[in-house]
Amino acid sequence: AADIKVSDGGDKALASVTNGRKSFGMGWEKTLPSPEVEGDTASYDIGAGQTLTVTALSQGFSQNVLLERAPDGPLEYRIPMRLEGLR
């Protein structure tokens, strides 16, 4: 079974999944605030009407950014990734 970890805030490591020697993690550019947690989903208020969500799944996680309103222009997110033991 995979070991899934989701940030409780205060760092830049968003979520990771580890299975044996293989690991995949996603981060965020800025330090994450404490999340609101409901069921398997953690929601982080990242400002400007944006909410970053991470949902723990049976073999990993999903990540989304929810927008309160349509953006005035292009949006760009840089999402750091960490891979160990994967090809």
The region that residue 8 occupies, defined by phi over 0 for left and psi between -120 and 50 for alpha, beta otherwise, is alpha
- What does residue 79 show for φ and ψ, rounded to 5 degrees? -115, 105
Strand partners, 47: 50
Say if residue 41's pLDDT is above 80. yes
Average pLDDT for the chain: 94
Residues with Cβ within 8 Å of residue 56, at least 6 apart in sequence? 4, 6, 15, 40, 41
What amino acid is encoded at 22 in this protein?
A: K
CA dihedral (53, 57, 62, 65) in degrees, to 10, reads -20
How many distinct structural domains can be found in the chain?
1
Encode pLDDT of 3-17 as tens digits.
Answer: 999 999 999 999 999
CA distances from 71 to 8, 17, 47, 62, 65 (A): 28, 31, 13, 22, 12
* Entry pTM: 0.89
Structural domain harbouring 77: 3-84
